[in-house]
């Protein structure tokens, strides 16, 4: 008999408990972990007094939230929307909801609460993201953050000045008068960081932008979630050139960007060198190896074995530096012999040569200046060039995000931004792909927060932030395409034309599960009772809704090619050439089943009500055992 699909995100807490019990069977009893015993197994002495830790009110609930399963789905908006559904304040038409290049794109735009979306992506994109960039709420006391307290009802939220998106999803203004001002912010972000780590590749990297308000707490949380040893750097970004007296005591010109790797497998990408970077290099001695500059010969830490004298060609003694030389005596002698180390004219010191030819790029620095990566004003300017106005208050400049993409060091990376706002990240991905021929893919996630009445966005005609983000991708993509086509038209004969990158995106919207409650409570009913009840599937759900629910449940990527056709009068969907074949029609014929089985897909799924009786369902299973024994068959 075919198995039923789960249509529920994995219980990560239960999976962690299972892994722990496999490693240390004695520490788990009746579903509870004996923490003291576990610490003994890993060689820790147990003390019942204070310990160094970072905590806040609600931390345990935040940790538990990351592993709590949900019954939701992502519903595709398949229509390639080219017919305008509105016009902005300049009169330029825009499309509010649909996808672009659905059949060919590998990019995703997902609308909904990012915590739920991250949970839904756990199987399809587990360990697949090369880079994650997020620009979460800064907790300034005036911005809205996601509420993760499900205990209150909507009226209680409203009493606390809560706001909602157009579907009633939760947001609230976290003011400093809230007794859990910092705790609520930490509880909001922590489970999202845990789920982010799961999505990163072993050689993946995450960047998080923030201001002074919560940066210290963020560092503590990231050390816990990603591991302090995986800290890559703390970047200070000069976001403003003009004086801004934010604090009343100091003019703030910077924001922070914390950077963590998933593991030691990450290799830092270097930046392209400029003439400014190379101005210190010269060749005063006509060295055949080319231009060079002098480098440090001192050791950073004291090492007794690196304390020794160096004798110059004329016999002068050069005493060691305070902590010793940078290399052993044998290595220094070898470098002198090859000319990598030379003596000064008076032979009182040694000079190490660093050759420009040996440098592949410039190592990233911890301070990023606006002149190099753009400022907030530049980011606003980018929006104005695309929209004629600035419908979003806090965009990031694409040059800033492009620098992070270069550091990610993967031209084929899946790039995720789950606080995507105006879609600066998607814009940057497309631009960099156009420049270097990369095949990066983006996944943007954004809550469809309603644009405030009287805001520039509302004046421009946009109902919610998602409309702004999707329209930016369309306009930025059109601009990139036009620039490439114009450049190709001016190329000389024989020159290789530039390729237009993927500028499309599939739109998916978070929603409740496709399945009725009876699907999950089947064990409470007899077979006779079930036959009299309503269908497992909600009546308004389409074939595409069901297909994408199956993709999530089976852990398949959501951006692969999809086709559909009629077989013996029944609609059959084929995903990624046979990774999954599905038919959700009622009363499917044996001929159609045999044709599907003959194609030997990796997975096949049918509607439970597609069969009039249990024997028919069993017959389907037998057909696949005969024609496609390696196919996994399930029903919904």
Read off the pLDDT of residues 108-137 as tens digits, 9 standing for 90 and up: 999 999 999 999 999 999 999 999 999 999
Neighbours of 435 (CB within 10 A): 12
Look at residue 572 and tell me if it is in a domain: yes
In a domain, 66, yes or no: no
What pLDDT shows up at residue 506? 98
594-614 pLDDT, tens digit each: 999 999 999 999 998 778 777
Mean predicted confidence (pLDDT) in 628-632: 97
Q: Which burial class, exposed, middle or buried, applies to 241 when counting CB atoms under 10 A from its CB (0-12, 13-18, 19+)?
A: middle
Nearest by Cα to 190 from 103, 64, 312, 289? 64
Task: Please count the structural domains in the chain.
Answer: 3
> In this model, does residue 93 exceed pLDDT 90?
no
Encoding tokens for residue 516?
Answer: 């009725």
Q: Count CB neighbours of 38 within 10 A.
A: 16
**What does the alpha-carbon distance between residue 465 and residue 393 come to, in Å, rounded to a whole number?**
11
Considering the domain architecture, whether residues 256 and 336 belong to the same structural domain is answered as no
CB 456 within 8 A of CB 390: yes
Confidence at residue 533, expressed as pLDDT on a 0 to 100 scale: 46
Select from 553, 605, 608, 607 the least CA-distant residue to 578: 605
Taking residues 279-299, what's their average pLDDT? 94
Q: What is the DSSP letter of 376?
A: H
Residue 308: pLDDT band by 50, 70, 90 thresholds?
very high
From residue 205, alpha-carbon distances to 263, 374, 395, 408 in Å are: 9, 22, 21, 6
Q: What integer is the mean pLDDT of 318-327? A: 95
DSSP 464: B
pLDDT band at 176 (very low <50, low <70, confident <90, very high): low
Is residue 324 in some structural domain? yes
Mark whether 475 and 538 lie in a shared domain: no
Q: What is the pTM of this model?
A: 0.85
Q: Which helix (H) or strand (E) holds 208?
A: strand 200-210
On whether residue 451 sits in a domain, the answer given is yes
Domain contains 15:
no
Per the domain annotation, does 71 fall within a domain? no
Alpha helices in 414-505 (DSSP H): 424-436, 456-459, 465-489
pLDDT score for 608: 85
For the chain, give me the number of helices (H) and strands (E)? 20, 28
Q: What is the pLDDT of residues 4-52, one digit of tens each?
A: 788 989 888 888 888 888 888 777 877 788 887 787 767 776 665 666 7
Which long-range contacts does 147-155 make (Cβ < 8 Å, 24+ apart)? Answer: 147/171, 147/172, 147/184, 147/188, 148/62, 148/65, 148/115, 148/187, 148/188, 148/191
In a domain, 507, yes or no: no
Other beta carbons within 10 angstroms of residue 396's beta carbon come to: 28
- Specify whether the CB–CB gap between 6 and 71 falls below 8 A: no
Predicted pLDDT at 532: 40
User: Are 282 and 256 found together in one domain?
Assistant: no
pLDDT of residue 580: 98
| 120/252 Cα distance (integer angstroms) | 39
Q: Are residues 251 and 391 in the same domain?
A: yes
What residues have CB less than 8 Å from 116, skipping those under 6 apart? 70, 72, 510
213-234 per-position pLDDT tens digit:
899 999 999 999 999 999 999 9
Looking at 201-215, 369-383, 489-503, which range is the least confident one? 489-503
Q: Looking at the predicted structure, is the pLDDT value of residue 269 above 90?
A: yes
Query: Are 580 and 608 members of one domain?
Result: yes
The residues with which 635 forms a beta bridge, in sequence order, are 4, 606
pLDDT at residue 26, as a whole number? 74
Distance from first CA to last CA of the chain, Å, rounded?
A: 13
Cα–Cα distance for residue pair 151/487, rounded to 1 Å: 58
- The confidence band for 172, taking pLDDT boundaries of 50, 70 and 90, is low
Range of the domain at 392: 79-141+188-272+366-489
What SS3 class is residue 134? strand
Same domain, 546 and 453: no
Q: Measured on CA atoms in the order 197, 201, 202, 203, is the torsion positive or negative?
A: negative
**Neighbouring residues of 199: CB distance < 8 A, sequence distance ≥ 6:** 118, 121, 122, 125, 126, 127, 128, 129, 132, 416
Average pLDDT, the chain: 88
Instruction: Report percent pLDDT > 90 for the chain.
Output: 69
Residues 397 and 428 placed together within one structural domain of the fold = yes
Closest to 427 measured CA to CA, from 372, 468, 371: 468
Same domain, 623 and 586: yes
Report the candidate in 576, 606, 573 with the shortest Cα–Cα distance to residue 623. Answer: 606
For residues 557 and 179, the model is more confident at 557
Please report, for the domain that includes residue 443, its CATH number.
3.40.50.150
Domain finish residue from 471, 489, 507: 489
Domain identity same for 279 and 264: no
Claim to verify: residue 302 and residue 256 sit in the same structural domain: no
DSSP class of 340 = S
Same domain, 266 and 283: no
| pLDDT tens readout for residues 526-570 | 554 444 445 789 999 999 999 999 999 999 999 999 999 999 999
In a domain, 611, yes or no: yes
For residues 340 and 202, membership in a common domain is answered with no
pLDDT class of 384 with cuts at 50, 70, 90: very high
Give yes or no for a contact between 56 and 182, defined as CB atoms under 8 angstroms apart. yes
Tell me which of 191-195, 218-222, 275-279, 606-610 is least confident.
606-610
Query: Which of 291, 324, 358 is the C-terminal boundary of a domain?
Result: 358
Q: What is the pLDDT of residue 534?
A: 53
Listed residue (135, 58, 572) closest to 392, CA to CA = 135
């Amino acid at each position: 008999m075919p198995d039923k699909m789960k249509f529920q995100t994995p219980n990560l807490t239960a999976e962690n408990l299972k892994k722990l019990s496999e490693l240390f069977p004695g520490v788990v009893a009746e579903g509870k972990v004996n923490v003291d015993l576990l610490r003994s197994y890993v060689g820790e002495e147990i003390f019942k007094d204070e310990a160094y830790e970072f905590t806040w009110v609600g931390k345990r609930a935040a940790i538990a939230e990351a592993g709590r399963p949900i019954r939701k789905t992502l519903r595709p908006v398949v229509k390639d929307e080219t017919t305008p559904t509105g016009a902005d304040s300049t009169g330029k038409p825009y499309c509010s909801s649909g996808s672009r290049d659905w059949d060919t794109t590998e990019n995703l735009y997902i609308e909904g609460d990012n915590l739920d979306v991250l949970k839904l992506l756990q199987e399809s994109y587990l360990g697949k993201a090369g880079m994650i960039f997020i620009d979460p709420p800064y907790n300034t006391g005036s911005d809205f953050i996601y509420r993760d307290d499900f205990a209150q009802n909507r009226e209680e939220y409203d009493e606390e000045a809560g706001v909602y998106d157009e579907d009633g999803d939760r947001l609230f203004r976290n003011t400093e008068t809230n007794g859990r001002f910092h705790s609520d912010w930490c509880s909001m972000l922590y489970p999202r960081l845990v789920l982010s780590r799961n999505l990163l590749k072993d050689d993946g990297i995450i960047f998080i932008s923030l201001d002074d308000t919560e940066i210290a707490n963020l560092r503590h949380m990231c050390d816990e979630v990603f591991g302090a040893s995986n800290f890559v750097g703390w970047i200070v970004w000069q976001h403003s050139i003009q004086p801004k007296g934010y604090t009343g005591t100091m003019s703030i010109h910077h924001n922070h960007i914390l950077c963590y790797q998933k593991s030691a497998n990450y290799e830092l990408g270097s930046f392209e060198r400029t003439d400014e970077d190379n101005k210190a290099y010269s060749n005063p001695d006509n060295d055949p190896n080319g231009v060079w500059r002098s480098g440090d010969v001192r050791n950073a830490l004291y090492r007794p074995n690196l304390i020794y004298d160096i004798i110059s060609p004329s016999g002068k003694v050069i005493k060691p530096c305070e902590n010793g030389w940078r290399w052993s005596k044998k290595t220094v002698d070898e470098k002198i012999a090859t000319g990598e180390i030379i003596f000064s004219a008076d032979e009182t010191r040694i000079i190490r040569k660093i050759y420009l030819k040996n440098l592949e790029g410039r190592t990233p620095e911890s301070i990023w200046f606006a002149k190099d990566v753009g400022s907030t004003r530049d980011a606003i300017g980018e929006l104005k060039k695309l929209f004629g106005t600035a419908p979003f208050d806090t965009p990031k400049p694409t040059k800033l995000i492009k620098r992070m993409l270069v550091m990610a060091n993967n031209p084929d990376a899946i790039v995720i931004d789950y606080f995507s706002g105006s879609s600066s990240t998607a814009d940057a991905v497309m631009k960099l792909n156009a420049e270097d021929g990369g095949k990066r893919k983006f996944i943007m996630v954004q809550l469809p927060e309603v644009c405030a009445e009287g805001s520039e966005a509302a004046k421009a005609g946009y109902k919610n932030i998602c409309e702004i983000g999707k329209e930016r991708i369309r306009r930025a993509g059109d601009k990139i395409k036009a620039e490439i086509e114009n450049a190709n038209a001016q190329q000389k004969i024989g020159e290789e034309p530039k390729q237009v990158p993927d500028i499309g995106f599939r739109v998916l919207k978070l929603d409740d599960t496709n399945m009725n409650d009876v699907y999950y409570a089947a064990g409470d009913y007899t077979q006779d009772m079930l036959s009299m009840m309503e269908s497992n599937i909600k009546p308004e759900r389409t074939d595409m809704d069901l297909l994408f629910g199956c993709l999530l449940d089976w852990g398949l990527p959501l951006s692969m090619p999809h086709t559909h056709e009629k077989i013996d009068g029944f609609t059959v969907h084929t995903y990624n050439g046979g990774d999954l074949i599905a038919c959700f029609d009622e009363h499917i014929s044996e001929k159609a089943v045999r044709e599907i089985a003959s194609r030997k897909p990796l997975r096949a799924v049918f509607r439970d009500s597609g069969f009039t009786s249990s024997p028919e369902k069993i017959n389907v299973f037998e057909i696949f055992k005969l024609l496609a024994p390696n196919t996994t068959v399930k029903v919904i």
